[in-house]
Structure 1
Amino acid sequence: MRVGIITGSGSYSWPFLDEATARSVDTPHGSVDVTEGTVGGVEVVHLSRHGKGHQRLSHQVDHRANLAALLALKADALLSFTVCGAVDPAAAPGSLVVFDDLYFPSNRLPDGSPCTWFDTPGQQGRGHWILDAGPFSEPLRRTVARAARDVHDRVVDGGVYGHVDGPRFNTRAEIRALAAAQVTAVSQTAGPEVVLAGEAELPMALVGYVTDYANGVAATPEPVSALLERMAASTGIFAALAARTLAGVDRVPAPGFVHRFDA
């Protein structure tokens, strides 16, 4: 089994990767730098959304290229990690959130185009991703949640991931609107990954590490330095979680199904 791992802010390389080999993958949507290796005997393909040194801000991430690279390298599942801000006060900073739902009503890529692989009339394989439950592979999500409880003391099992556009952070009014939609935590990059993985029928789980409370959630905001400290700690926490997950991972089904018009 081969598992794709996508990381975000603060996680530009993947620690404890055995037999690590860096390469560039050419896709119809652009070139993507990845690192292949193994973790506990499981084949892994890692890529950083933002690139080395945070080269790309959130509105410059090429999600279709990233997912196309993982698909070209025959990933059987995807673990996606993001640092995030808590909208729900119960998701305290320092918590891991293993999401089970998505709030991404704009369904747009950073360039403003629709978030889909199906952008050409008559395209082979075009269709609708129909979710009979949540947008994540529930067997994979449960495996991740069990692993999270083994490696971390603060875990939120379930929750709504809210995708927002960057690169600016949100106003208090915007966070109140997200809270009304029952969003648990928010960040600027994972929404398109969920949709593109779903349309490609690639099983996926999404985990957030809460670095701070979103704007207006806490009565007194923490200093930015606290956010940065947690962001720096996230790589090791995500790596430990991934290693524990991979030790128990197996082939899992994708969520929902794609109704294709040429099937």
Structure 2
Amino acid sequence: MQTTQHRSHRPRTAPRSRADEVYEQLKRDIAEFDLVPGDRFTENEICERLDVSRTPVRQALIRLQQEGYVEVLFRSGWRVLPFDFEQFEQLYDLRMVLETTAAQRICADDRRVDRELVDKLNAIWLVAAADRETDAAQVAQWDEEFHCSLVAAAGNAEMARVHRDVTDRIRIIRRLDFTKQARIDTTYEEHAKILKAIARKRGDQAAMLLRAHIETSQAEVRKITLHQVHLARQGAGGK
């Protein structure tokens, strides 16, 4: 009599390479202002700091170069690229289109809507003022998840994928929007209004509130100067 063997069909996660680890660390360094626009460095410096060989460092830097984070300098190492504010403006415009569309789809009660994601957002943002998080780094992370979850909840995987890519590309400058307590309070209040409009299935109102919310953040980005970036770098250790 034959016995049936039960095999696990869970997808295997590809192991992360050393180059992947270096790439993620350098990208984190840029996002957290350990490396700021204009900073110069050599491959050897990265090798020594991360205790890795030159090959994964070179592979990681080439990947970051393709994504527009760094550039190679002839015979003098690498440099973190200055902010391209025109590109950030365009990315914010794209983000606005994706998020307002997602809010309207959620309110239309589309069968593909992930209500569990919306419920999780309510649990974080619809809280009493005394229960609000005050740590800027945590709020920045939750804010990013708020917007990504809204798009994901609309049920269109391709929209969510594009939005994630936009989010990844604006993260470095978006974090500067949470250096003041007033911006944290405003974020809680505006997110709450958006979620309440969605709960009432008022798609146009939710989209209007989202548009205003993103435009406020976009306006803050326009005020950012390289001096502020350097100040943020100095205070990064306290976030």
TM-score for both structures, normalised by structure 2: 0.24
State which structure, 1 or 2, has the greater radius of gyration over its C-alpha atoms. 2
Structure whose residues are more often strand by fraction: 1
Higher RCO (CA 8 Å, separation ≥ 6 residues) = 1
TM-score for both structures, normalised by structure 1: 0.22
